[in-house]
């Protein structure tokens, strides 16, 4: 049984400024024309974006889109071929030690010796972040926070996939971070675990931490992120707040009692309406006035309408549209 989320994420430094005092206009992560090449392969092609304190920024993209290479440069694990990166004002390579003290990282998988016990690993990581901190994160509090108290002495190799993810999150919190990179944090996690992880992430942001969330799980990202960056083929396709990205793709949904005869449609409507299923139609990126024209045409024809709805596209719709359906 997972514990109820606390009002404060205990692994997070007490020194973190309150949400109201965070400067949301100054980016804490700045990626400027970053390129990463592996031989002839250009994995990341002159990308630029920013992330801000107190926000969850979701980094999305299909496999091989360049997001992992970009994040590894930000973490100081990989060198940039060209371009600049600043994380909390630090150069991730030159100022690695100073940045590492302020940064939490959750790898997508692994990172822990299979025979190690959760409590021992968390205690080790709390000790690794000891220098320069007023106080250590408490290993037992972190274990409790991620709901592993009953499994704290079970070797890592015997934990379930979700428990391994939660332990990895606890290690990321051991630094009491101001910036945290989370790679697929809910992958393989059950429903209760997802809720706990989501609440921890949200509270981290509320306490002023900059959260960078790389994920394939678009519905999870949509639930917790404030900003979205979509990668594909080494480039950033779109960057902005979640609402801006979704608003940019307005959709229309139409359901009717009987199938429409699309050939009868006037020219200004023809071609926009897509038949998803019998009596179920949609329009993406509807231009101004199209919905009104459609409503008039339906009325004139006496079509029985079950539903005619306009709204923002889901993040998944936007993602599929931009990346050609890859995931």
Partner 1 sequence: MKVSSSPFRAQLRAELQILARNGEQLLLTLIIPVMLLVFFGTTDVLPTGFDDHMDFLTPGIIALAIMSSSMVSLGIATGFERSYKVLKRLGVTPLGRPRWLAAKIVTVLLMQIVQLVILIPVALLLDWQSGNAQWLLAIGAVATGSIAFAGLGLFIAGRLRAEINLAAQNGLYLLLLLLGGMVVPFDELPAPVAAVAKCLPSGALADVLRDALVGQADRPGTSWIVLGIWAVVTPLLAARTFRWE
Decide if 226 contacts 55 (C-beta within 8 A): yes
Query: Of the candidates 131, 153, 263, 325, which one interacts with partner 1 according to CB under 8 A?
Result: 131
The answer to the question of residue 240 lying near partner 1 (CB under 8 A) is: no
Q: Which is nearer to partner 1, 61 or 104 (CB)?
A: 104
Phi, psi values for residue 43, rounded to 5°? -80, -35
Which range touches partner 1 (CB under 8 A), out of 2-10, 120-128, 187-195, 229-237?
A: 120-128
Using DSSP's 3-state secondary structure scheme, residue 158 falls into helix
Residue 87 beta carbon to partner 1: minimum distance, rounded to whole angstroms: 11
Query: Of the candidates 14, 15, 26, 109, which one interacts with partner 1 according to CB under 8 A?
Result: 109
Tokens 């990989």 identify what position? 78
Give the whole-angstrom CA distance, residue 16 versus residue 18.
6
Residue 22 beta carbon to partner 1: minimum distance, rounded to whole angstroms: 24
Strands 235-241 and 227-232: antiparallel
Query: Of the candidates 49, 52, 90, 125, which one interacts with partner 1 according to CB under 8 A?
Result: 125
Site mask for partner 1 (CB under 8 A), range 64-93, x = bound: -----------xxx----------------
Instruction: Give me the residues paired with residue 241 across strands.
Output: 227
How many other CB atoms are there within 10 angstroms of residue 3's CB atom?
11
The answer to the question of residue 46 lying near partner 1 (CB under 8 A) is: no
Decide if 300 contacts 307 (C-beta within 8 A): no
Site mask for partner 1 (CB under 8 A), range 139-178, x = bound: xx------------------------------x---x---
Q: Residues 6 or more apart from 271 whose CB is under 8 A from it?
A: none
Q: Which is nearer to partner 1, 185 or 218 (CB)?
A: 185
How many other CB atoms are there within 10 angstroms of residue 326's CB atom?
14
The answer to the question of residue 116 lying near partner 1 (CB under 8 A) is: yes
Tokens of 305: 């309408």
Give the whole-angstrom CA distance, residue 15 versus residue 212.
20
Which range touches partner 1 (CB under 8 A), out of 24-32, 113-121, 195-203, 288-296?
A: 113-121
| Region at 155 (left for phi over 0; alpha for psi -120 to 50; beta for the rest) | beta
Q: Which is nearer to partner 1, 111 or 240 (CB)?
A: 111
Instruction: Give the footprint of partner 1 on this chain (CB under 8 A).
Output: 75-77, 97, 100-101, 103, 105, 107, 109-116, 120-121, 123-131, 136, 138-140, 171, 175
């Amino acid at each position: 049984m997972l514990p109820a989320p606390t009002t404060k994420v205990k692994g997070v430094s007490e020194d973190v400024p309150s949400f109201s005092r965070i400067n949301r206009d100054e980016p804490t992560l700045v990626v400027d024309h970053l390129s990463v090449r592996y031989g002839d392969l250009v994995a990341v092609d002159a990308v630029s974006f920013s992330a801000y304190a107190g926000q969850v920024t979701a980094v999305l993209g299909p496999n091989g889109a360049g997001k992992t290479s970009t994040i590894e440069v930000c973490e100081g694990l990989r060198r940039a071929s060209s371009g600049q990166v600043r994380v909390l004002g630090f150069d991730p390579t030159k100022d690695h030690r100073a940045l590492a003290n302020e940064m939490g990282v959750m790898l997508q998988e692994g990172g822990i010796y299979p025979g190690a016990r959760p409590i021992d690993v968390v205690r080790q990581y709390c000790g690794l972040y000891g220098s320069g901190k007023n106080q250590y994160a408490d290993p037992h509090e972190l274990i409790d926070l991620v709901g592993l108290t009953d499994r704290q002495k079970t070797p890592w190799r015997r934990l379930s996939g979700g428990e391994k993810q939660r332990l990895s999150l606890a290690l990321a919190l051991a630094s009491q971070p101001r910036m945290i990179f989370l790679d697929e944090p809910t992958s393989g996690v059950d429903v209760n675990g997802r809720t706990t992880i989501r609440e921890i992430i949200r509270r981290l942001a509320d306490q002023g931490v900059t959260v960078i969330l790389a994920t394939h799980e678009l519905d999870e990202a949509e639930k917790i992120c404030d900003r979205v960056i979509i990668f594909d083929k080494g480039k950033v396709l779109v960057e902005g707040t979640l609402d801006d990205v979704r608003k940019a793709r307005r959709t229309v949904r139409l359901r009717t009692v009987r199938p429409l005869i699309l050939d009868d449609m006037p020219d200004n409507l023809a071609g926009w309406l897509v038949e998803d299923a019998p009596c179920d139609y949609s329009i993406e990126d509807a231009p101004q006035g199209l919905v009104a024209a459609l409503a008039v045409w339906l009325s004139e024809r006496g079509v029985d309408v079950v539903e005619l709805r306009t709204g923002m596209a889901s993040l998944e719709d936007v993602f599929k549209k931009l990346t050609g359906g890859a995931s």
